[in-house]
Each structure stands twice: as structure tokens, then as C-alpha cells.
Amino acid sequence: MTLDLTPDELLSTTRAVRRRLDLDRPVPRSLIEECVDLATQAPTGRNRQRWHFVVVTEPARRRAVADLFLSSLALASGQPLTQRDVWRMNYHPGSTERVFDGLRHLAANIHRVPAFVIPAVEGRTDHAPVTEQAGTWGSILPAVWSFMLAARARGLGTTWTTAQGPRERELARVLGVPYEKVMLAALIPLAYTIGTDFKPARRVPRDQVLHWDRW
Ligand SMILES: Cc1cc2nc3c(=O)[nH]c(=O)nc-3n(C[C@H](O)[C@H](O)[C@H](O)COP(=O)(O)O)c2cc1C
């Protein structure tokens, strides 16, 4: 069963969901499988399809992933957000407090999130030229967004996080991922949403981002 959303509604209302995750409701495996099936319709360079999705629902492993999520956050210590954090994080003006409030809530509840999705791509580009980096990341990130759109269509909420970054090696070990050959692309908490009404967000106006014929 999917929500009654037009394509434009789906594209404009798939939000980063942190506060409205239903932490008491398990997510059926079949729904996640459907999302992966849709995600793998995304494009990849040379159609190589080097993508993987590690889904974690088993309690002990979920706890280990949640611990790593927390340890990768500056606010894991529970310290209030400082001006220095704001500066360091370089958030879009106007979003900082809202995003951080949501993130604090997510951090406080991360051990209750029913599922984590960790998308991964074969091949490491740590010191690779830009073309190779673009080709590799460009072959996993569209699929990740498709996964998130498919999840939203099914009443599920996601937040794209890069919490895997600072702890990638440890997370790979916990998940049995061969770190030398595979990059973890994101760490996505997944749960049903509380309510399904999400709104389009305010974004930078079109005339600041659209360039016609020249910059
Ligand atoms: C590359 C990337 C990294 C992100 N990292 C995090 C993160 O580590 N933690 C988090 O809570 N949200 C993270 N987000 C979610 C953004 O904060 C969110 O997409 C943005 O604030 C817009 O929110 P909205 O889509 O709900 O309007 C990330 C998003 C992207 C695309």
C-alpha cells in the first residue's frame, strides 16, 4: 500500500524525518525490500550497479550501529550547541536550530529506531581523481534518494546522515563489510512516520540557483 501522492508531492515532501519517527512500530521486511527494488532502478556509471544496502534490524547489531551513530556526533556528549558548532557545521542560515533540535531528538532516541539502512558502493575513492569520485558517488547517491522516496511513498520516514563518516571503519567491521573494497555512503534511520502529512520546504529561491545559458 502506498500513499496517495502525486509525483510532484512525493518529490517535494520527502523530508528529513527525525522527530516524527514512530519508534514503537516495526518496519516490515517486505517494505524495505520494495524500497531496495525501486532504488536499484536508479542510474549507475556504465550500468555497473556496484551498490549494496545493509539493513540492520537485529537488536544487538542495531544497538552497535546506534552507539556508533552517537559517538560520531559532536553532541553525543549532550553538550548544548555552541556558536562554534554552528560555525563548524556551516548550516544553511535559518535552518541551524531546527536541524539541530531534530538531530538532538534523534540522538536521544537513536537506540529505539527500528531499522538502519546503510547504503554502500564497491570501490574506494579516498584519494582518487574527481572524475572517479564523481562516477562512484554518482552511482550510489541517486539510488539512496530513490530509496528514501520509495520509503516516503510507503509511509516510512528517513534522514540522510553522514554519521558513518567518522566511524566508517568501525561500522564496516560491525556490519562485516570489506572496508578496503567498499565505501559506506550514508547511515539512514528508518521508521514509520507519525502521520503522513509533510510539507514542501522553504529553499533558496530559484533565481539564485538557476543559471540559463551562462552563470
Ligand atoms: C549529504 C547529506 C548529509 C546529511 N547529514 C545529516 C546528518 O549527519 N544528520 C542529520 O540529522 N541530517 C543530515 N542530513 C539531512 C539534512 O539536514 C536535511 O536534508 C536538510 O536539513 C533539509 O531538510 P528537509 O529535507 O527536511 O527540508 C544530511 C543530508 C545530506 C544530503
Domain boundary assignment for the chain: 7-81+89-195
User: Residues 9-26: pLDDT tens digits?
Assistant: 999 999 999 999 999 999
User: Residues 48-103: pLDDT tens digits?
Assistant: 999 999 999 999 999 999 999 999 986 444 555 565 555 556 666 667 778 888 99
Task: Tell me how far the alpha carbon of residue 129 lies from the centroid of ligand 1, in angstroms.
Answer: 26
**Would you state the pLDDT for residue 93?**
66
**Would you state the pLDDT for residue 1?**
87
**Would you state the pLDDT for residue 81?**
54
Q: Measuring from atom 17 of ligand 1, which residue has the nearest CA?
A: 99
Chain center to CA of 10: 17
Ligand 1 pocket check for 103: Cβ under 6 Å: yes
Q: Measuring from atom 12 of ligand 1, which residue has the nearest CA?
A: 161
CATH topology for 7-81+89-195?
NADH Oxidase (3.40.109)
